[in-house]
Structure formats: C-alpha cells, structure tokens
C-alpha cells in the first residue's frame, strides 16, 4: 500500500491514517473543517475587507496594487503563503458567522441571560461534611472570618487566596451553586451545599448582571456557529452514500 504519512520511523498508509483518526475520535472534527471549506467558497470578501482584517484599520481603503501589499505584508511578518491563506480563511469564517447568525443574537441573549451573569465568591470546600457544618456554625454564630477558615480548611486552590474566587460566570458553576447564587443576596453565606463527595460553603461578594457586550455577542455567535456546523455535518453524513471508507483496518460502518 502507498505510504501517505511519515512520522519519525513510522510510515502510515491512508487507511492507517483514517483508522487512527477514528480511533482517537478526530475524524468528525476533520470532516467539519472539510465541510466548512466547501461552504466558505460561497462567502465573498472584498480586497478592502481583507485589508482591514490584516491591518486592523477600520474603513480603510485597499491599496491599488493589492497583490504587492499582500506579498509585503506576509514578508514583513515572515509568513508563508499558507499563513496568509489561513488568515483570509479566518476572515471568511468571521463573515459567515456574522451574516448567518447576528440577527438571532439578541433573542438568544434574552433567553439565556442568566447564564452570562457573573459573580465573585468566597469559597470553602471540604470532603468532611461534618466539618462543613461546624465551619458554617463558626461563620454565622462565632463570627470567625471567612478568610481565615478558607485558608485553614478549604481543600481547593482557593485556600491560597483566602477563599476568594472570581470573576466567574454562573453557567460555569455547579448547578446547585448557581441556583443559590442567582436567588441569593450579596454578603450572605450559604451552605453546606453537597456536591458529590464535597460540601461547599459560599459567600456572595459581588454580583454582575449580564449585558450584551461585544465579548458576549462573539461568544453567542461562536456557539451558534459550532452547533450549526455540527448539525450540518450530521445531516450530511446521515444521507446514504455520503460517507464511505474503503479500509481493511476499520469497518466502514464505524466512521463516526
């Protein structure tokens, strides 16, 4: 069989490469990028858009000899033609995301707004549930400082910052913790919150209601794009005959 990839002393055939992609669960990601390449051919971009993207100048006018500019731009940065093509591909992806999904961003943000709320917490977590009850009693009734107990007893990295954690999205917190924070009040202590083998005690330090900033807009746009690309791929390969593999090492039906 024909060798298509050499890595050190390894010489792999095309069938072996595909089998490795399947075994390491990388084939679907590769197919997504191949599908995306075919979609990007229909995304038109102007020389002015490329010039703005490469230089970071808004509303800039591309030079008359655009090819000379591209060559000089790449040369000054010691970039290859492949690097330049990659940069232009990213521009096409950005434009595809904007034209395809921007009209839906506002509605999705309103629907998922609570996921983007952010909070600063003080945290004590311990695998000793009885200790957690005792610590909560000390915090509420004995007025021992949260910082000292977190430094002494917390089992996570927060012990190095006196229990301080932030800024974190509610969606990145365990669900029971996020629900308590969303309904709780700044300055109050809550717990113990049992999470599998650990008990958490938290104090809400600051709460920041989400706003549709450019950063949040980009995040939502990327999420919608990734879901759309994955769904488009799955719909495509579900059609009979769309995806076939002729390899001795791997059954054709085990593609994805």
| Closest by CA position to 229, among listed 239, 217, 237 | 237
List the CATH number of the domain containing 199: 3.10.50.40
pLDDT at 255: 31
Q: How many domains does the chain have?
A: 1
Task: Give residue-wise pLDDT tens across range 22-39.
Answer: 899 998 999 999 999 999
Tokens of 53: 């993207």
Asked if the structure places residue 78 within a domain, the reply is no
Q: What is the pLDDT of residues 165-211, one digit of tens each?
A: 989 999 899 999 999 998 999 999 998 999 988 999 999 999 999 99
Cβ-based neighbours of 40, under 8 Å, separated by 6 or more: 89, 92, 93, 96
Decide: residue 210, CB within 10 A, 0-12 exposed, 13-18 middle, 19+ buried.
Answer: middle
pLDDT at 93: 97
Segments in the chain below pLDDT 70: 1, 244-256
Q: Is residue 15 part of a domain?
A: no
Whether 174 is covered by a domain: the verdict is yes
Residue 132 in domain:
yes
Domain that holds residue 163: 118-208
Domain-embedded: residue 159: yes
Tokens read off for 237: 């390969």
At 45 the pLDDT is: 93
Phi, psi of 124, rounded to the nearest 5 degrees = -125, 125
Return the pLDDT at 246: 60
**Residue 204 is assigned to a structural domain of this protein:** yes
């Amino acid at each position: 069989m024909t060798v298509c990839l050499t890595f050190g002393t390894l010489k792999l055939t095309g069938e072996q490469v595909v089998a490795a992609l399947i075994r390491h669960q990388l084939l679907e990601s590769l197919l997504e990028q191949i599908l995306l390449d075919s979609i990007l051919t229909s995304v038109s971009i102007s020389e002015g858009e490329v010039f703005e993207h490469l230089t970071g100048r808004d509303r800039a006018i591309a030079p008359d000899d655009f090819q000379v500019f591209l060559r000089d731009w790449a040369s000054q940065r010691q970039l290859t033609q492949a690097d330049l093509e990659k940069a232009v591909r990213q521009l096409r992806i950005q434009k595809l995301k904007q034209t395809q999904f921007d009209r839906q961003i506002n509605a999705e943000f309103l629907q998922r707004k609570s996921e983007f709320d952010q909070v600063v917490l003080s945290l004590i977590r311990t695998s000793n549930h009885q200790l957690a009850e005792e610590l909560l009693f000390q915090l509420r009734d004995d007025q021992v400082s949260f910082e000292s107990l977190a430094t002494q007893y917390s089992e996570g990295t927060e012990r190095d910052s006196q229990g301080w954690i932030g800024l974190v999205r509610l969606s990145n917190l365990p669900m029971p913790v996020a629900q308590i924070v969303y309904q709780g009040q700044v300055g109050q202590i809550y717990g113990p919150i049992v999470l599998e083998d650990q008990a958490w005690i938290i104090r809400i330090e600051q709460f920041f209601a989400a706003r549709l900033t450019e950063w949040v807009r980009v995040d939502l746009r990327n999420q919608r794009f990734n879901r759309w690309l994955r769904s488009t791929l799955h719909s495509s390969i579900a059609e009979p005959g769309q995806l076939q593999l002729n390899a001795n090492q791997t059954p054709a039906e085990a593609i994805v």
